[in-house]
Amino acid sequence: IGLNTLHGPAAPAPDPAVANELPEVGLRCAVRTRTSEEADKVRRAGAHLWIMGPGGTSFGTPIKPRPVISLWPTLIPRSFVEQKTQILVA
| Residue 28 in this model has a pLDDT that exceeds 60 | yes
pLDDT of residue 90: 80
**Separation CA 8–CA 16 (nearest Å):** 17
**Separation CA 58–CA 50 (nearest Å):** 5
pLDDT of residue 24: 59
Can you give the pTM of this predicted structure?
A: 0.40
Domain residue spans in the chain? 8-69
**Separation CA 72–CA 74 (nearest Å):** 6
Residue among 28, 25, 20, 38 nearest 78 (CA): 20
| Residue 21 in this model has a pLDDT that exceeds 60 | yes
